[in-house]
Amino acid sequence: MVVLAKEELEQISLPVIQKPLPSSLIPVIDLSNPNSTSLIVAAAQELGFFKVINHGISMEIMSALESEAMKFFDLPQFEKEIRGLSPLGYGSKKIGSNGDLGWVEYLLLEIASKPKSQSSQFCSTLNEYIKAVRKLSVEILEMMAQGLHIKEKEIFSKLVMDDESDSVLRFNHYPPCPHLLGLSNRSLTGFGEHTDPQLISILRSNNTSGLEIALKDGSWVSVPSDPTSFFVNVGDSLQVLTNGRFRSVKHRVMVNGTRSRLSMIYFGGPPPGQKLGPSPLVMEERE
């Protein structure tokens, strides 16, 4: 459980809760539909964000990992903190290196290209999930390249398949916030506004909403939760590689106090030190 001191709480803003985005505004990509390639490109350009259904990952594996993660967050605080190895591992309240605070605790895990051991139930479920979600990211990145009419369909996906790929899996737990009881229509910043630096982020959450994305006009809209689906973000690296054609989406998480949110996010990144310039073939629209 994240416990913020009064002074810390005062540093976390309490914006008014956003109206939920009508679900119809979020592009829903059915991966079993052969036309989905062009729909993915349109969504990546317009919003930098979309939801995927018929993704081939079983609800069983998603729920199994969610309950393993919840078991971890339910441990006593000192046991979680033992695993708080900087910069990876367990952390709470302090996000990143800029001193940002949020009503969140998290577990950040590096993804090794060859997983070493499966010594616990958590590790084996984790490895199975990572394999499935990385395959999904490859599929989506290849559809993106095809949709942009790039001959080398692996141009983006090979970066997340690389043994040196800088990819991470993150679990974010936003516990209910007692300070908000009685403050109707107020929310607390769980994870402040940012864009993801990697190529692609693939997010799955439990049935508690809280994720908000910024539209092109700067307005914030909240994304209704859907634990059966994945939400995909375009990250900064993919924006660069596509010469700005794809939009890296600004997003944040707001907590409204009564229900706990748990999200699991795969971030597929290029190998560190990889020079990222625009792919020449994405400089202009091609037929």
Ligand X SMILES: O=C(O)CCC(=O)C(=O)O
Ligand Y SMILES: C=C1C[C@]23C[C@@]1(O)CC[C@H]2[C@@]12CC[C@H](O)[C@@](C)(C(=O)O1)[C@H]2[C@@H]3C(=O)O
Catalytic residues: 261
Question: Is 265 within 8 Å of 201 (Cβ atoms)?
Answer: yes
Q: How far is the CB of 287 from ligand X (least distance, A)?
A: 36
- Contacting residue, 153, 170, 186, 259, with ligand X by CB under 6 A: 170
Which listed option, ligand Y, ligand X, Fe ion, none, makes contact with residue 168 (CB within 5 to 8 Å by class)? ligand Y
* Choices 53-61, 64-72, 95-103, 220-228; region in contact with ligand Y by CB under 6 A: 95-103
- Contacting residue, 197, 215, 221, 226, with ligand Y by CB under 6 A: 197
Which has the closest alpha carbon to 256: 200, 158, 184? 184
Strand 261-268 relative to strand 220-222, pairing: unpaired
Cα 48–61–106 angle (5° rounding)? 60
Strand 211-214 relative to strand 168-174, pairing: unpaired
* SS3 of residue 255 by DSSP: strand
Q: How far is the CB of 66 from Fe ion (least distance, A)?
A: 18
- Contacting residue, 20, 96, 244, 271, with ligand Y by CB under 6 A: 96
Exposed, middle or buried: residue 88 (CB in 10 Å: 0-12, 13-18, 19+)? Answer: middle
Q: How far is the CB of 37 from ligand Y (least distance, A)?
A: 26
Tell me if 168 contacts ligand Y by CB under 6 A.
yes
* SS3 of residue 100 by DSSP: strand
Measure the CA–CA gap between 34 and 167, rounded to whole angstroms. Answer: 28
Residues 237-266, one symbol each (x = binds ligand X by CB under 6 A, - = not), give --------------x-x---------x-x-
**Tokens standing for residue 174:** 């936003």
Measure the CA–CA gap between 113 and 127, rounded to whole angstroms. Answer: 11
Q: Name which of residues 175 to 204 contact Fe ion (CB under 5 A).
A: 196
- What are the two backbone dihedrals, phi and then psi, of residue 103, each rounded to the nearest 5 degrees? -85, 70
- Contacting residue, 66, 105, 142, 196, with ligand Y by CB under 6 A: 196
Q: How far is the CB of 193 from ligand Y (least distance, A)?
A: 9
Q: Name which of residues 172 to 201 contact ligand X (CB under 6 A).
A: 172, 191, 196
Which has the closest alpha carbon to 55: 26, 27, 31? 31
Q: How far is the CB of 42 from ligand Y (least distance, A)?
A: 25
Non-local (6+) Cβ contacts of 277 within 8 A are 240, 241
**Tokens standing for residue 51:** 């939801």
Non-local (6+) Cβ contacts of 284 within 8 A are none
Q: Name which of residues 99 to 128 contact Fe ion (CB under 5 A).
A: none
Which listed option, ligand Y, Fe ion, ligand X, none, makes contact with residue 142 (CB within 5 to 8 Å by class)? none
Q: How far is the CB of 261 from ligand X (least distance, A)?
A: 7
Which listed option, ligand Y, Fe ion, ligand X, none, makes contact with residue 95 (CB within 5 to 8 Å by class)? ligand Y
List residues near Fe ion by CB under 5 A. 196
List residues near ligand X by CB under 6 A. 170, 172, 191, 196, 203, 205, 211, 251, 253, 263, 265
List residues near ligand Y by CB under 6 A. 95-96, 98, 100, 108, 168, 170, 194, 196-197, 267
